[in-house]
């Protein structure tokens, strides 16, 4: 069987034929070069307007990288024709296996992008003897194609989250759809009012007016934009962010007290960080003993910890009214604790009381933990794609793994 028989089986083109295959070692590695030719009498298609036109001339043969076989790189070699197009002027022709100036065939980009979702970009490059940069190009192409071809609406529920992508307060704004469809809708640079407004500009007022619930943290710019753009929606402050703030407060208390006790010659708070932050069920045996020991001391840290643990009950309520009463009582008790970071939590809870209680009003539609789950996936994705911690790379990697974007249809499944 000839190589071109196989190629015709997996990827056949109407107006082009596979001619011959030969070995080549000019790039320092053994490669297969398959020459492609236009069928006799076929007219080239203008890459500008996608209409056929008369041929103008033929350029030097170009190579397009195809999917490797048996760890041997495969290239198509084809001399592109130029079209004398009536509307666009002289333009290079459009070919079905590649797009624009790409030297990778579309199917090879799809192949690499597929693996770049399962492996890190670096691992993908190493596995297929290619470069990080080509994997980047592949993901970029597939993501751009997907964004262009996806359907944005209708959207009934969204969650907005911020995430740090590089050192020095470099944040991204991520907007997820969290109704029947769970996917990343949008990635914005920074976490300002202007950033989040761009998301609403992208979806347009028609889609925005149908949003029924919004989940966010307490970041002021987000609250402001939600009030303006989604006034009809039920706005919920996400549990995950409140729990995270509470943990930060306990950790601040511990850190400060640890410094003081250490200065006084005691090491009681050494290595206690995770005992105090983890849920009790997740503690190791060692941590559990450490915690039990610690609870016997009259420390600010212990009091803050107990308040935090008590607050867990809040999430078990069904009725917003009862939850509200619990919240008020917890706040009163905590204000008397004279522990500044915890009092700060109280002030935060009090000033967002209604939005927090919306958690109980929206419980039937928003599954708790959904934003936390997405946030974790986003973090894993960011770790896997680097490379370079630029906004563009991060944005592409996030859309690629969490966007549930459509992909160009293919006849033969190469992966």
User: Which CB atom, from 43 or from 198, has the smaller least distance to Zn ion?
Assistant: 43
User: Which CB atom, from 42 or from 368, has the smaller least distance to Zn ion?
Assistant: 42
Contact status, residue 393 vs residue 264, Cβ threshold 8 Å: no
**CA 306 – CA 179 distance, rounded (Å):** 35
**CA 140 – CA 113 distance, rounded (Å):** 9
Give min distance, CB of 62 to Zn ion, in A.
20
Q: Which two tokens stand for residue 142?
A: 């597939």
Give min distance, CB of 43 to Zn ion, in A.
12
DSSP bridge pairs for 69:
72
Q: What angle do CA 66, 71, 72 make, to 5 degrees?
A: 55
**CA 364 – CA 9 distance, rounded (Å):** 51
User: Which CB atom, from 51 or from 361, has the smaller least distance to Zn ion?
Assistant: 51
Return the range that interacts with Zn ion (CB under 5 A); candidates 79-87, 169-177, 240-248, 339-347: 79-87
- Residues contacting 319, CB < 8 A, separation 6+: 360
348 binds Zn ion, rule: CB under 5 A: no
Rg (CA), the chain: 29
User: How many chain residues touch Zn ion (CB under 5 A)?
Assistant: 6
Give min distance, CB of 88 to Zn ion, in A.
3
Return the range that interacts with Zn ion (CB under 5 A); candidates 80-88, 132-140, 238-246, 251-259: 80-88
Return the range that interacts with Zn ion (CB under 5 A); candidates 85-93, 102-110, 249-257, 271-279: 85-93
- Look-up of token digits 């980047």: 136
In which region does residue 286 sit, left (phi positive, over 0), alpha (psi from -120 to 50) or beta (all else)?
alpha
85 binds Zn ion, rule: CB under 5 A: yes
Q: Which two tokens stand for residue 236?
A: 């919920």
DSSP string, 287-302: HHHHHHHHHTS--HHH
Give min distance, CB of 166 to Zn ion, in A.
42
Q: Which of 21, 48, 179, 278 binds Zn ion (CB under 5 A)?
A: 48
User: Which CB atom, from 85 or from 230, has the smaller least distance to Zn ion?
Assistant: 85
User: Which CB atom, from 85 or from 378, has the smaller least distance to Zn ion?
Assistant: 85
Residues 28-47 that bind Zn ion (CB under 5 A): 46
DSSP bridge pairs for 36:
18
**CB < 8 Å & 24+ apart, contacts of 269-273:** 269/294, 269/299, 269/301, 272/301
**CA 30 – CA 221 distance, rounded (Å):** 56
**CA 216 – CA 236 distance, rounded (Å):** 6
408 binds Zn ion, rule: CB under 5 A: no
Q: Which two tokens stand for residue 288?
A: 């559990």
User: Which CB atom, from 87 or from 333, has the smaller least distance to Zn ion?
Assistant: 87
Residues 101-120 that bind Zn ion (CB under 5 A): none
User: Which CB atom, from 91 or from 300, has the smaller least distance to Zn ion?
Assistant: 91
Give min distance, CB of 165 to Zn ion, in A.
40
Give min distance, CB of 42 to Zn ion, in A.
17
Give min distance, CB of 183 to Zn ion, in A.
36
Q: Which of 88, 277, 283, 310 binds Zn ion (CB under 5 A)?
A: 88
Contact status, residue 34 vs residue 74, Cβ threshold 8 Å: yes
User: Which CB atom, from 49 or from 331, has the smaller least distance to Zn ion?
Assistant: 49
Return the range that interacts with Zn ion (CB under 5 A); candidates 82-90, 113-121, 319-327, 389-397: 82-90
User: Which CB atom, from 45 or from 135, has the smaller least distance to Zn ion?
Assistant: 45
Q: Which of 17, 37, 49, 243 binds Zn ion (CB under 5 A)?
A: 49
- Residues contacting 199, CB < 8 A, separation 6+: 160, 173, 175, 185, 186, 188
Give min distance, CB of 91 to Zn ion, in A.
6
User: Which CB atom, from 89 or from 204, has the smaller least distance to Zn ion?
Assistant: 89
Give min distance, CB of 191 to Zn ion, in A.
43
Phi and psi torsions of 236, nearest 5°: -115, 135
Return the range that interacts with Zn ion (CB under 5 A); candidates 81-89, 224-232, 310-318, 324-332: 81-89
Give min distance, CB of 78 to Zn ion, in A.
20
User: Which CB atom, from 89 or from 369, has the smaller least distance to Zn ion?
Assistant: 89
Give min distance, CB of 49 to Zn ion, in A.
3
- The DSSP code for 336 is T
Q: For residues 311-339, b (16+ Cβ closer than 10 Å) or e, as one string?
A: beebeebeebeebbebbeebbeebeebeb
Residues near Zn ion (CB under 5 A):
46, 48-49, 85, 87-88
């Amino acid at each position: 069987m000839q190589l071109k028989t196989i190629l015709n089986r997996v990827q056949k083109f109407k107006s082009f034929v596979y001619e011959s295959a030969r070995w080549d070692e000019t790039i320092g590695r053994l490669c297969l070069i398959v020459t492609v030719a236009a069928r006799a009498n076929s007219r080239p298609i203008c890459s500008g307007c996608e209409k056929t036109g008369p041929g103008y001339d033929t350029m030097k043969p170009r190579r397009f990288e195809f999917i490797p076989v048996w760890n041997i790189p495969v290239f198509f070699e084809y001399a592109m024709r130029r079209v004398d197009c009536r509307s666009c002027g002289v333009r290079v022709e459009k070919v079905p296996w590649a797009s624009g100036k790409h030297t990778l065939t579309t199917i090879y980009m799809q192949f690499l992008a597929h693996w770049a979702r399962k492996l890190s970009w670096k691992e993908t490059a190493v596995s297929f003897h290619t470069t990080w940069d080509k994997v980047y190009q592949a993901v970029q192409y597939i993501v751009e194609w997907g964004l262009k071809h996806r359907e944005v609406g209708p959207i009934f529920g969204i969650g907005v989250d911020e995430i740090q992508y590089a050192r020095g307060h470099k944040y991204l704004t991520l907007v997820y759809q969290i109704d029947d469809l769970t996917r990343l809708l949008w990635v914005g640079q920074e976490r300002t009012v202007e950033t989040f407004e761009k998301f609403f500009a992208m979806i347009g007022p028609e889609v925005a007016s149908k949003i029924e619930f919004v989940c966010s943290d307490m970041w002021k710019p987000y609250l402001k934009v939600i009030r303006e753009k989604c006034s009809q929606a039920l706005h919920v402050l996400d549990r995950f962010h409140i729990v995270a703030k509470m943990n930060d407060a306990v950790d601040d208390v511990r850190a400060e007290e640890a410094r003081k006790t250490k200065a006084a010659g005691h090491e009681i708070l050494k290595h206690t960080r995770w005992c105090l932050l983890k849920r009790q069920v997740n503690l190791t045996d060692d941590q559990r003993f450490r915690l039990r020991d610690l609870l016997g001391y009259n420390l600010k840290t212990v009091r803050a910890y107990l308040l935090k643990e008590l607050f867990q009950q809040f999430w078990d309520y069904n009725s917003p009214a009862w939850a509200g009463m619990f919240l008020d009582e917890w706040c009163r008790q905590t204000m008397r604790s004279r522990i500044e970071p915890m009092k700060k939590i109280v002030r935060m809870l009090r000033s967002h009381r209604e939005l927090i209680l919306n958690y109980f009003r929206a419980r039937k539609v928003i599954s708790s933990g959904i934003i936390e789950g997405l946030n974790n996936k986003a973090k894993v994705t960011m770790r896997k794609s680097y490379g370079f911690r630029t906004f563009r790379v991060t944005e592409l990697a996030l859309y690629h793994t969490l966007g549930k974007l459509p992909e160009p249809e293919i006849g033969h499944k190469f992966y």
